[in-house]
Amino acid sequence: MSSPASPDLRPGASVVPAVFPGDTNPRPPLISRAILGMRVDVTTYADATARIIDWARSAQARYVCASNVHMVMETNDSAEFRDVVNGADLVTSDGVPLVWALKALGVPQAERVYGPTLMLHVCEAAARARLPIALYGGTSESLEEFVLFLQTNYPGIEIACLIAPPFRPLTPEEDAMYTQQIVDSGARIVFVGIGCPKQERWMAAHTDRLDAVLLGMGAAFDFHSGRVRQAPAVMQRLGLEWLFRLIMEPRRLWKRYAKHNPRFVGKFLLQLLGQKIIDRGRTASRS
């Protein structure tokens, strides 16, 4: 399936993704907002899971992005990557700062739909629906540990395919081989854990080649297998998950956070200011 055309994403604009041909159980249109030009959909764990399972049941080719500040700023710096994310079938508010941003843009009911937690909801539903899943990313060891976690917590889950690609650009032959493995496995849901922005580009490039729902999950494999610690719940609620991860992996992450976080705050405040000026002008024109 080809990705939908990028919608009009003026600051604060409400976006209603199209209903796609072949939907067997079309759900209500999503409310969305543009955060620095990147679409973020207002959804819940239950709603997102239901959409993913509906798509998977009918073997529809879709992809889902779990967005945070890092992703917003990557799209801000690259028009090509912005088109990749805005072309997704669902973009969840993975990071707490994006929930705050959605509320500031007039969506008070916005809530966090965190990728690693969404993954567990989808795995539970996939086990009940007997929908085979595939895991793409990580290392052989981390995948084995994660498989044990899934089999322990979701009895009956069908794990059709495990692929730990090398940590380098793939050759065309390698890419074709891995893609065919997923096709041959019959997986209807593919969890992709190769990091942002690589995983989002991979999903966009492979959607038309796989009759499955692709979900970009970042470090979820390592989180759930216990290889990497997640931030305490209180730090997550306060929007300080980035600080916890920085403390855990300072050498790898300090440049990312130093580059992206201050710019996100400044640019989003400018977006809000611009939206307020537009809103005041519209109000004045009506009076």
Mean predicted confidence (pLDDT) in 226-250: 78
> Over 70: is that where the pLDDT of 21 sits?
no
pLDDT in tens, 101-151: 999 999 999 999 999 999 999 999 999 999 999 999 989 999 999 999 999
The percent of residues above 90 in pLDDT, for the chain, comes to: 69
What is the predicted pLDDT for the residue at 250?
84
What is the predicted pLDDT for the residue at 287?
66
The span from the CA of 246 to the CA of 231, in Å, is 10
Give the residue among 38, 34, 42 at the shortest CA–CA distance from 82: 38
Query: Which two three-digit tokens encode residue 105?
Result: 């843009």
Mean pLDDT lowest among 19-28, 138-147, 219-228 = 19-28
* Buried/exposed code over 179-213 (b: 16+ C-beta within 10 A; e: otherwise): bebbeebebbbbbbbbbbbebbbbbbebbeebbbb
The span from the CA of 251 to the CA of 270, in Å, is 31
Q: What is the pTM of this model?
A: 0.85
The span from the CA of 233 to the CA of 258, in Å, is 23
What is the predicted pLDDT for the residue at 5?
34
Q: List the chain domain ranges.
A: 31-259
What is the predicted pLDDT for the residue at 25?
59
